[in-house]
Amino acid sequence: MEGVALVLSLLLVVVNLDGFSCVYSGSHCIESEKNALIKFSQGFKNPSRSMLSWMLEENCCSWKGVECDNKTGHVITLDLHKQFLQGEFRNSLLGLPYLRHLDMSHIDFLGERIPEFISSFKDLEYLNLSKTNFRGMIPEHLGNLSRLQFLDLSGDFSLRVDNLEWIHSLFSMKILDLSGVDMKSAENWLHDINLLSSLLELRLSACQLVTLPKFLPIFVNFTSLQILDLSLNYFNTRIPSWLFNTSHNLVHLNLSRSRLSGSLPNAFGNMSSLRVLDLSGNSLRGNLPHSFEKMSSFTGYLPPTLPSKLKYLDISDNKMEGPLARSITQLKQLVVLNVSRNCFNDSITEHFLNLTHLRVLDLSSNSFIFNVSATWMPRFQLDSLSLQSCGLGAQFPQWIQTQKELSFIDISRTNISGEVPDWFWNFSAKVYHIDLSGNNFSGEIPEFTESVSLTKLNLSDNNFHGPLPHFSPKMMTLILARNSFNGTIAPVCESLVMNNSLSLLDLSSNFLSGQLSDCWRYGKNLQGLNLGHNDLSGEIPRSIGDLTNLFFLQLQNNSFSKNLPSSLKNITGLKILDVSENSLSGNIPFWLGENLHALEILVLSRNNYDGIIPREICQLTELRVLNLSSNNFRGVIPCDIHNLKILESLDLSSNHLSGSFPPRMGELPSLEFVNFSFNDLTGKIPVGPQFHTFENSSYVGNANLCGFPVSRFCSDHLHEDMVHCSNNNQEVQAIEHEENNNWLDEFSFYISMGIGFYTGFWLFWVTLTLKESWRYAYMRFLENMGNKIYVFAAIRLKNIQAAKGLRNCPN
């Protein structure tokens, strides 16, 4: 790398010696500034193509990214953005003292600190250090740049600022973007920024801000503000009233996901210039402001509570309730309307949706009832339509046929029944997402031609029947679960040959039969495959092992026989393997433990496996769920089982296991559920904080067990164990305490579970993996379900979910 820089400078020298000349446009370059530029460029390890072009031109004022003042010839602009350079920020830049515009965005400065000498550029008006991989504290020296009008330090996520006092002197500031800067210690941020009376645009998204003062001491100073983005912070307060004193010019307000609560203030109606309002993902409650209802009876005498020029309204994912329709009728300019995941209840009529410009309509997960005539011709042409769990009536909504621009269609869980009309399946090449899940649709579905762009199709939880369709080459997610499809899965194989994008295939709970053919090598991109709860038989084909990107493989409740093919050992990233309730036999292959190191859930229950439980299983240190129940396993519990440090559920019931528990078994720190019942285990039940919590039912059917909870006394060592237990008591209490506080999380877990079902399992799984408290909920869920099933079996929970609704509102 050094070499490249050297060559670069040598070439420059050569060019100079040559006296290389050409016709210059504009001013001539000043020698000292040129040298400064060259030295600065030598700080980069990977000079880009356009920087190499610097060598060919003697006049540095014509170099790409460099601009000089016409009169004085001084370099005033240096713009190296998006050249993907990497290296150091050399102080040779100080040789350009007249810089006004400095754009270094997207240059990787390798985690250095922002140099303090940057404050020397007295004329600087524009400084862009966005996504530059600078780290650490922002130097307060920036406050010396008193002419600065544009400052962008966004997108680094490793910059920090403790107070913003230095910003007071930057009174010409027009655009300030500190998004991603850690400002949690800068408690006075608002007061500091309030001094900037010229501010037009303020972006403090994801700044870890916790304070949003209710009041400003004197008055709001930044009244020219047009764009305000405070999204992704942790305010835990109401929408403050001072906001509305900035109201006259505000065009764009983003308070999304900032932990705001309370109701939507009436004063929004006075924000007459507002075009974009994003309040999504907060905890806002209550009705849309009252004056609306008054307004409808007073026919337009009162000001509307939301400015009628609003184009973009997103109040999704809050807890708002009551009517909605009257309010939106006034918003004639709306292009985007997203009120999903609230508790609005209303009847939606043709009159209320009389919005000519609307392109995105998301009313999902509320209690809306559509009350439109069969011949309604909406005046809008939508791109995106989401009506999940709206009441659309029993008939397929005919008005959708008028929408020729649709690319995204979600009418899941809307209680429509009957056949899907033919015109619907003739959708245009623009449609990429269709979700019809959770209705009562029947009939067969057509073949999808190759011309369609459909990438995601979810028809689960309906009554579709007939053979599986062929799918298009672009399909990525295909969910046909819980229908009445029958026949073989040959169409899947035939489509796979043409398709290289499929990443999720869920055909579970249908009436598919026959053997699996060896076509899976074509499905290289598959990440999830669920063929559970069908009538598939024969051997699990070897080519399943070619699906090396698979995260989950579910074949439970079929009639597969023989053993798992050894090719599965190539799927080293597999996280879930469920082959329960089949007729698999033989020993557990030893490679399972040796190769599938990523496994988190392993379910082999209700098969005809025999032999011993191989020690290699204990190498699966990522395991959370291990279920080997209802087989014919003999021998002892492997003694290394304490290696499974994050195991949460262990079911070895209904086998022929014998001997005593391994000595260190009590150490399993994450265990939430065990079942050893109906074996021939003997001796003392393990002692340990987790084992303290299990009940008798975990051990029944073993004649010779002793110790808690089966019997009080066991051996002479009891006293010793009691001491061990009481040392750990506090820990147990802490855990229990924490769990009591988790009901809310648990609720969201169930919600996410529901979402997981309808948008694909992967999302759910990711959340489960990320969020610890959810795992507890999941484990509890396992227990409640009688422990023979997991995750996808949660279908049965669907009714509970339906009762709770997929909403944020309680009940």
**Side-chain half-sphere of 525: how many Cα atoms within 13 Å?**
14
Q: Which residues bind ligand NAG (CB under 6 A)?
A: 26, 70, 81-82, 105-106, 119-120, 128, 130, 140-141, 143-144, 150, 152, 166, 171, 175, 177, 194-195, 197, 205, 215-216, 218-221, 231-232, 242, 244-245, 254, 256, 266-267, 270, 276, 278, 280-281, 312, 316-317, 338, 340-341, 345-347, 350-351, 354, 360, 362, 384, 386, 465, 486-487, 545, 566-567, 569-570
Q: Output the CA torsion sign for 629, 632, 634, 639.
A: negative
Name beta bridge partners: 159: 136
> What's the CA gap between 638 and 663, in Å, rounded?
10
Least Å distance, CB 280 to ligand NAG, is: 4
Q: Answer for the pair 474, 497: CB distance below 8 angstroms, yes or no.
A: no
In the complex, what is the shortest distance from the CB of residue 419 to ligand NAG, in angstroms, rounded to a whole number?
A: 14
Minimum CB distance to ligand NAG, residue 644 (Å): 25
In the bound state with ligand NAG, the residue whose beta carbon lies nearer, of 258 and 649, is 258
513/520 Cα distance (integer angstroms): 17
**Using CA of residue 382, residue 385, residue 391, residue 395, what is the dihedral sign?**
positive
Query: Could you tell me if 496 and 523 are in contact, meaning their C-beta atoms sit under 8 angstroms apart?
Result: yes
CB 172 to ligand NAG: min, Å: 10
Q: Tokens 């924000």 identify what position?
A: 271
Write the CB contacts of 70 (distance below 8 Å, at least 6 apart in sequence): 26, 27
| 407 SS3 class | coil
Closer residue to ligand NAG in complex, CB, 340/580: 340
Residue number with CB closer to ligand NAG (527 or 605): 527
Q: How far is the CB of 727 from ligand NAG (least distance, A)?
A: 47
Q: For residue 595, which phi and psi values (nearest 5 degrees)? A: -110, -35
Find residue 221's DSSP bridge partners. none
771 backbone dihedrals φ, ψ, rounded to 5°: -105, 110
Give the Cα separation of 435 and 433 in Å (integer): 7
In the numeric block, the tokens 């003392």 are attached to: 684
Nearest-approach distance from CB 217 to ligand NAG, in angstroms:
7
Residue nearer to ligand NAG on the CB measure, 103 or 721 = 103
User: Least distance to ligand NAG from the beta carbon of 112, Å?
Assistant: 19
Q: How many CB atoms lie within 10 A of CB 297?
A: 8
Can you say whether the dihedral through the CA atoms of 773, 775, 779, 784 is positive or negative? positive
Q: In the chain, what is the straight-line distance between the N-terminal and C-terminal CA atoms, in Å? A: 63
Least Cβ distance, residue 167 to ligand NAG (angstroms): 11
DSSP string computed for 233-293: ----EEPPGGGGGGTTT--EEE-TTS-EEEE--GGGGG-TT--EEE--SSEEEEPSPTHHH
* Nearest-approach distance from CB 556 to ligand NAG, in angstroms: 21
Closest CB to ligand NAG among 224 and 658? Answer: 224
Question: Which tokens sit at 404?
Answer: 């020729």
Q: Which is nearer to ligand NAG, 520 or 609 (CB)?
A: 520
Count CB neighbours of 741 within 10 A. 9
Supply the minimum distance, in Å, between the C-beta of residue 739 and ligand NAG.
Answer: 28
Q: Angle at CA 115, nearest 5°, toward 109 and 120? A: 130
Q: Output the smallest distance, CB 21 to ligand NAG, in A.
A: 20
Nearest distance in Å: CB 558, ligand NAG: 16
Measured from the CB atom, the residue of 280 and 455 that comes closer to ligand NAG is 280
CB of 450 to ligand NAG, least distance (A): 25
Facing residues of 66 across strands? Answer: 78
Distance CA 392, CA 370 (A): 5
Locate 274 and state its tokens: 């507002």
| Closer residue to ligand NAG, CB minimum distance, 4 or 216 | 216
Q: What is the DSSP letter of 391?
A: B
Instruction: Find out whether 777 and 746 touch, Cβ atoms under 8 Å.
Output: yes
DSSP 621-686: TT-SEEE--SSEEES---GGGGG-TT--EEE--SS--EEPPPTTGGG-TT--EEE--SSEEEEEPP
Give the residue with the Cβ less far from ligand NAG, 105 or 653: 105
User: Which lies closer to ligand NAG via its Cβ, residue 464 or residue 678?
Assistant: 464
Residue number, 236 or 356, with CB nearest to ligand NAG: 356
CB of 703 to ligand NAG, least distance (A): 42
Are the beta carbons of 172 and 198 closer than 8 angstroms?
yes
Of 244, 296, 293, nearest to 265 by C-alpha is 244
Pick 189 or 691: Cβ nearer ligand NAG:
189
Q: How far is the CB of 213 from ligand NAG (least distance, A)?
A: 9
| 282 versus 643: smaller Cβ distance to ligand NAG | 282
Q: Given the complex with ligand NAG, which of 269 and 666 has the nearer CB atom? A: 269
* SS3 assignment for 750-789: HHHHHHHHHHCHHHHHHHHHHCHHHHHHHHHHHHHCCCCC
- C-alpha–C-alpha distance, residues 4 and 52, integer Å: 10
Between 121 and 708, whose beta carbon lies closer to ligand NAG?
Answer: 121
Query: What whole-number distance in Å separates Cα of residue 82 and Cα of residue 88?
Result: 16
We find the least distance from the C-beta atom of residue 184 to ligand NAG, in angstroms, to be: 17
The residue (of 125 and 672) whose beta carbon lies closer to ligand NAG is 125
Phi, psi of 532 (to 5 degrees): -65, 160
Report the residue number, 588 or 789, with the smaller CB distance to ligand NAG: 588
- Shortest Cβ 85–ligand NAG spacing (Å): 13
